[in-house]
Structure 1
Amino acid sequence: MSEPKRTSHVGSQQCHSLPSPSSHHFSPTPSPKPSSITSSLQARNSSNNHLIQTLSKQGLTKHALHLLSTEPRPTQRTYELLILSCSRNNSLSDAAAVHRSLVDDGLGQDSFLATKLIDMYAQLGSIDNARYVFDEMRDRTIFVWNAFIRALALAGCGDEALGVCCRMSESGVWFDRFTYTYALKACVVSGERKGKEIHGNLLRRGFEWNVHVVTTLIDVYAKFGLVSYAGKLFDEMPERNVVSWSAMIGCLAKNGRPFEALELFWEMMVGNPDEVPNSVTMVSVLQACAALSALGQGKLIHCFVLRRGLDSIVSVNNSLVTMYSKCGNLEVARRVFDRMDKRDVVSWNSMISGFGVNGFAEEAILVFKEMINDGKVSPNAITFISLLGACSHSGLVDEGKRLFYSMVPEYHIYPTSEHYAGLVDILGRAGRLEEAIKVIEDMRIEPGSTVWGSLLGACRIHCNIELAERASVRLFELEPTNAGNYVLLAEIYAEAKMWVEVNRVKKLLEARGLQKVSGCSWIEVKGKIYSFVSVDELNPQIEQLHALLVKFSVEMKEKGYVPDTKAILYELDEVEKEEIVLGHSEKLAVAFGLINSSAGETIRITKNLRLCRDCHSVTKFISQFTNRDILVRDVNRFHHFRNGVCSCGDYW
């Protein structure tokens, strides 16, 4: 911001012509005494200040600024309300005018107003102006320091914020809980090491017992994926509030531990009745329910949301739409969406994605058209990622290409690596691999791991060794520690019976200390969530589950079923391979659901990996044989099995 210019207060001074003592002329009315003049000016000043304050509270900033030019002595409170009005109206030009007038009136060194100015400029996204205010202050209170550190942290200037913290310490100003809170938020940008350094600093200063500081630290460790660090802090907290509980629940939900997130939520509800969950808690818990396809738990949370009146909050409604969509209940998801009084871009994206992952690409595109026709919210990059994913899962190649190539000319959204990955996936799944590789070669940006991963996945479907090897070379460079890429290449080799190459990839995995991610499935039965891993010998019902699966296998073979064991990465005899695929986690979960749920009840399962082809075939048969609806959500999409048919049309 340029140096504030002086604003002249036209008419801000009044001249009172008093008669000369030697004059023989007397006014017909007595001249006011000096005290009367002062009282009159004070009354007028008070009236004008009050009017400016009233206009500011009503958001009429420009009207208030007009009166400000005629006001000889605006008060600190007047300027405070003007600053708040500029923030609410999101007006940088009005903010600069108020700032100039404030400096003109000699309040440029008022630390209270400096704090308000920094907060205002931070909210308006003008970090340079916030920096100017800070630099101009000669006597900086802790409030001024904190305001500027907070502004930098929110603007993503993490390193600069931490540098200001060092200057603050060197100037002899002691950190308080707000300083540590803002410094920790800055560490989200600056990195894990900086966060641990701040953690050590606050331990030395005795702030490890401050609930606000520790809660922020939990949130920071959650963003770094350091769940064990966050959990240890949470367990050692002498007191917790709803924000602390919400931070830890969110940490678990966002880091792939939804089961534990739900357990912690119910622990909070049962053991801490004084801690009433808020909207942030609800969003995290609903995210956990969505991850597990725990519809029963999700319905309970929805009831709580309604009782607490949280259904008016957009973020909560968005989470409800996502939860119902990921539990396969699109009817209720759409009902929640339709009843929303206000929708943001996340609301529309949630509904589009919901239809997409459930295999209803046409409906997803219709929702997109509704969004465009509504005109209140513009699509963003995420919108097109969801649309391209929907087209990929349904084989809508031409529609997917049309959407991709409309992004720049119609919506001014430039494709990222994720969008190119979506287009490559659309073409690759459809078997148009040469066209997919041409897209990669013509990309305007460097292809990322998601792009090459999409190509490798397509090579797995169509068993294209040459392109698989080309994609793998790039993936091993970009993601050297991602075991999934090695496993996928090994599966392609195994299907082609290239066992020498399979062993080479397995040795590469071992040399780099990587392990294949174990298959895991979850099922909700009678309000409880159960997990299964492949070849799970610890489950108390394992013999009963195996017996049921063997029975199904025998009956299927009589109808021509041949177990698909191509993905087994070991040179075993066929009987051993069949035993392995029969013990896959999703099959165990289906069997458990059949034994422990009521007849006719829909079985909902979530898996952490892609559904294998043998499990897909077996589940189709079971749905027909038992007359049950079975919903399986794998890492890519939903599969609705009914009467021996899957909603994916065997295209996934």
Structure 2
Amino acid sequence: MWGFPASHTAQPPTFTAHLSNFSPRNSPKPPISSITIKPSISTTKDTNDKNKLIQSLCKQGNLRQALKLLPHEPNPTQHTYELLILSCIRHESLSCGLQVHRHLVDDGSGQDPFLATKLINMYSELDSIDDARKVFDKTRNRTIYVWNAVFRALALAGHGMDVFELYCRMNWSSGIESDRFTYTYVLKACVASESSISLLRKGKEIHAHVLRRGFEACVHIMTTLVDMYARFGCVLNASCVFDEMPMKNVVSWSAMIACYVKNERPFEALELFWEMTLENRDSLPNSVTMVSVLQACAAIVALEQGKLIHGYILRRGLDSILPVMSTLVTMYARCGKLEIGQRVFDQMDKRDVVSWNSLISSYGIHGYGRKAIQIFKDMISNGVSPNEITFISVLGACSHAGLVVEGKMLFDSMCREHGMYPSMEHYACLVDLLGRANRLDEAAKVVEDMRIEPGSKVWGALLGSCKIHCNVGLAERACKRLFELEPRNAGNYVLLADIYSEAKMWGEVKRVKQLLEAKKLQKVPGCSWIEVRKKVYSFLSVDEFNHQSEQVHALLVKLSTEMKDRGYVPQTGIVLYDLEEEEKERVLLGHSEKLAVAFGLINTNNGEVIRISKNLRLCEDCHSVTKFISKFVNREIVVRDVNRFHHFRDGVCSCGDYW
């Protein structure tokens, strides 16, 4: 603990008088000053015995019996109260915690700062933040430990601004100085709370305080700063903090790797991981590190890198850790090796709901909806209860496979069979399921009848379906709400422009593009990745910087000519510019996934599978071209877009042109 004194204010013990030189009844009484007062030996012994008994019951897990004895102990010690509070946390019993708190106050120990910190921590763990705040507000003898306890409680509860308000009060009026725990908890308030510019500004202020107070050598504070900047997407700030740390531990390295992964910088994450393994023998990667690195491999379909990391996991004995193995299942599936992911799952000694979710999601993104439903049923029959993520995964699987009836039944079963109310993500899945199947009126009705206010994910799912089926009216309705909910999301404007373009409404396309320019919004460029000989290459649409760009474009022109002779018609309607047809075809040839396919054909051997990932939805023309190419060159081409996998073989795609 923090070294508080063991004593506390308590009720006085029972006293009995002992008279020296006891005299007969008629003898005169000695003056009061000659009376020696001593505690009764038997009473003190009883008190010690009851305290020890209560403490013993708490250690044995018998909280109820301990509480029954508490009213019969007139002098509970600080340690007795501490064990009672800890026992309430272990039993997750708020009612028992309130009972201990009441007795503590009645006993006169309510102002003990040590016990105040314990009570605040207890209420925080039992999700009763209001009670934790009341304890703090009523504690007059505040120490830095009491302040830190309330900072931690509020931070964990996501009350970021309350933390900063109290932090300012402590600094300006209490005379108590912050310590390393203070800064760590206050920075965690930024990480745990809802993202906002005001919290980022507060976090930067705390960063300045840390530097002024000379805490830049404290690895815990600096690691939390990395987390804080990662939370707000400030990758450069996080990287600067990390690079300037005089000492780094495994948590620091893991935080920076996770920062890159969360902010879609998988290349940097992998580079930093290998640097960590080669140059820092004292900070060996742990299970948290491995989860982030596997996620980085999955993001860019770096299968060979993933295999190397799998070997590292086995050598380090991390293959018994559930989160690592669950992420390994996902990594193989997202790199196009679903069968290896299944094998990893089958070899797991233990499986939790996350493991099952990984497998369900894996089959879903590959288009095997019925298999995903069967795994869902197997999970339940194995005694594992589904959670919210389970239903998101299985509903997504139904959506990719067009299993409307099955998906609707699963959605209805959430509340009826599993006592779970649908969240915004579940409604978005249902809208996407119906919309992809061209049941747009039904999807719109779901949005209208939602029990909660539809958010951007729901309207975005509806807009995406409108793009697939070119429904201008419903798209305009969805965009009206999306422009209010996400005014800075350029993707919504681009989707609407795509729909107008397909409908040949060039005036509306121009208007939307002007809106984008007026708001200074940038369209997210299409980017594709391919791994060749354990090295990952990236391509942007109309990439002019690749050293093989001339070869790549020459091959694409050659293939395009051959495809036209066999019936290929470029789908120029998806080009947002009012150009001549020949110019539109040139724009289409510059799409990143086509560049990656051509690069793969040039740099891999005959018979090798070409694996590509893309950050956006695969466009209709690239889908058609890749089907043609797979037949011409007799190669299997696997493309994972933002939604799902496409396995192209002999001119056919596994999605059945439904994506």
How does the TM-score come out when normalised to structure 2? 0.88
Contact 2:16 2:40 in 1 (8 A): no
Contact 1:292 1:606 in 2 (8 A): yes
Greater alpha carbon shift after TM alignment, 143-152 vs 88-97:
88-97
Q: Which residue of 2 aligns with 1:85?
A: 87
Contact 2:14 2:40 in 1 (8 A): no
Q: Which residue of 1 aligns with 2:323?
A: 315
Cα deviation for residue 338 of structure 1 reads: 3.8
Equivalent-residue separation in structure 2 for 1:325 and 1:51 (angstroms): 56
Q: Which residue of 1 aligns with 2:380?
A: 372
Q: Which residue of 1 aligns with 2:62?
A: 60
Q: Which residue of 2 aligns with 1:578?
A: 585
Query: What's the CA shift string for 1:354-396, capped at 9, x where partnerless?
Result: 221111111121122223333442432x332222222221111
| Match 2:363 to one of 348, 355, 370 | 355
Query: What's the CA shift string for 1:516-552, capped at 9, x where partnerless?
Result: 2211101112221111112222111222222332332
| Match 2:419 to one of 404, 412, 420 | 412
Shift in CA distance, 43/630, structure 1 to aligned 2, threshold 3 Å = farther
Contact 1:153 1:161 in 2 (8 A): yes
Equivalent-residue separation in structure 2 for 1:497 and 1:556 (angstroms): 26
Cα deviation for residue 607 of structure 1 reads: 0.4
Q: Which residue of 2 aligns with 1:627?
A: 634
Cα deviation for residue 22 of structure 1 reads: 6.8
| Match 1:464 to one of 441, 465, 471 | 471
| Match 2:170 to one of 168, 171, 181 | 168
How does the TM-score come out when normalised to structure 1? 0.89
Instruction: State the AA in 2 paired with 1:482.
Output: N
Contact 2:301 2:613 in 1 (8 A): yes
Q: Which residue of 1 aligns with 2:233?
A: 225
Cα deviation for residue 243 of structure 1 reads: 1.4
Shift in CA distance, 494/199, structure 1 to aligned 2, threshold 3 Å = same
Q: Which residue of 2 aligns with 1:5?
A: none
Equivalent-residue separation in structure 2 for 1:149 and 1:321 (angstroms): 38
Shift in CA distance, 305/51, structure 1 to aligned 2, threshold 3 Å = farther
Structure 2 matches for 1:100-249, cutoff 5 A?
100-103=102-105, 106-169=108-171, 170-188=173-191, 189=193, 191-249=199-257
Q: SS at the partner of 1:592? A: helix
Greater alpha carbon shift after TM alignment, 559-568 vs 491-500:
491-500
Q: Which residue of 2 aligns with 1:510?
A: 517
The alignment status of 1:609 with 2:609, answered yes or no, reads no
Equivalent-residue separation in structure 1 for 2:272 and 2:477 (angstroms): 45
Contact 1:639 1:648 in 2 (8 A): yes
Q: Which residue of 2 aligns with 1:482?
A: 489
Q: Which residue of 2 aligns with 1:397?
A: 404
| Match 1:566 to one of 549, 552, 573 | 573
Q: Which residue of 1 aligns with 2:3?
A: none
Q: Which residue of 1 aligns with 2:647?
A: 640
Instruction: State the AA in 2 paired with 1:166.
Output: C
Greater alpha carbon shift after TM alignment, 38-47 vs 580-589:
38-47
Cα deviation for residue 84 of structure 1 reads: 2.4
Cα deviation for residue 250 of structure 1 reads: 0.9
Shift in CA distance, 452/116, structure 1 to aligned 2, threshold 3 Å = closer
| Match 1:295 to one of 299, 303, 327 | 303
Q: SS at the partner of 2:646? A: strand
Q: Which residue of 2 aligns with 1:27?
A: none
Shift in CA distance, 66/310, structure 1 to aligned 2, threshold 3 Å = farther
| Match 1:494 to one of 483, 501, 518 | 501
Cα deviation for residue 69 of structure 1 reads: 5.5
Greater alpha carbon shift after TM alignment, 624-633 vs 269-278:
624-633
Gaps of 5+ in 1: 1-7, 25-33
Equivalent-residue separation in structure 1 for 2:245 and 2:112 (angstroms): 38
Q: Which residue of 2 aligns with 1:3?
A: none
Q: Which residue of 1 aligns with 2:277?
A: 269
Q: Which residue of 1 aligns with 2:313?
A: 305
Greater alpha carbon shift after TM alignment, 329-338 vs 251-260:
329-338
Contact 1:283 1:315 in 2 (8 A): yes
Gaps of 5+ in 2: 1-9, 26-35
Equivalent-residue separation in structure 1 for 2:17 and 2:370 (angstroms): 80
Shift in CA distance, 602/141, structure 1 to aligned 2, threshold 3 Å = same
Cα deviation for residue 620 of structure 1 reads: 1.7
Contact 1:13 1:72 in 2 (8 A): no
Equivalent-residue separation in structure 2 for 1:65 and 1:309 (angstroms): 44
Q: Which residue of 2 aligns with 1:4?
A: none
Cα deviation for residue 290 of structure 1 reads: 1.6
Cα deviation for residue 38 of structure 1 reads: 7.3
Identity %: 67
Shift in CA distance, 48/526, structure 1 to aligned 2, threshold 3 Å = farther
Cα deviation for residue 436 of structure 1 reads: 2.4
Cα deviation for residue 431 of structure 1 reads: 1.8
Query: What's the CA shift string for 1:263-296, capped at 9, x where partnerless?
Result: 1111222222211112221221122112112122
Contact 1:356 1:386 in 2 (8 A): yes
Cα deviation for residue 52 of structure 1 reads: 4.4
Structure 2 matches for 1:531-542, cutoff 5 A?
531-542=538-549
Aligned-pair Cα RMSD in Å: 3.0
Greater alpha carbon shift after TM alignment, 498-507 vs 628-637:
498-507
Cα deviation for residue 68 of structure 1 reads: 5.0
Equivalent-residue separation in structure 2 for 1:102 and 1:332 (angstroms): 58
Instruction: State the AA in 2 paired with 1:122.
Output: S
Shift in CA distance, 62/442, structure 1 to aligned 2, threshold 3 Å = closer
Equivalent-residue separation in structure 2 for 1:301 and 1:635 (angstroms): 24
Shift in CA distance, 343/210, structure 1 to aligned 2, threshold 3 Å = same
Q: SS at the partner of 2:428? A: helix
Equivalent-residue separation in structure 1 for 2:335 and 2:396 (angstroms): 18
Q: SS at the partner of 1:606? A: strand
Cα deviation for residue 343 of structure 1 reads: 4.1
Cα deviation for residue 634 of structure 1 reads: 0.6
Q: SS at the partner of 2:450? A: coil
Shift in CA distance, 477/39, structure 1 to aligned 2, threshold 3 Å = closer
Contact 2:270 2:293 in 1 (8 A): yes
Q: SS at the partner of 2:381? A: helix
Cα deviation for residue 71 of structure 1 reads: 5.3
Cα deviation for residue 50 of structure 1 reads: 5.1
Equivalent-residue separation in structure 2 for 1:364 and 1:14 (angstroms): 75
Shift in CA distance, 571/269, structure 1 to aligned 2, threshold 3 Å = same
Q: SS at the partner of 1:529? A: strand
Contact 1:321 1:333 in 2 (8 A): yes
Q: Which residue of 1 aligns with 2:354?
A: 346
Contact 1:344 1:377 in 2 (8 A): no
Shift in CA distance, 480/94, structure 1 to aligned 2, threshold 3 Å = closer
Contact 2:404 2:433 in 1 (8 A): yes
Greater alpha carbon shift after TM alignment, 158-167 vs 172-181:
158-167
Equivalent-residue separation in structure 2 for 1:504 and 1:73 (angstroms): 78
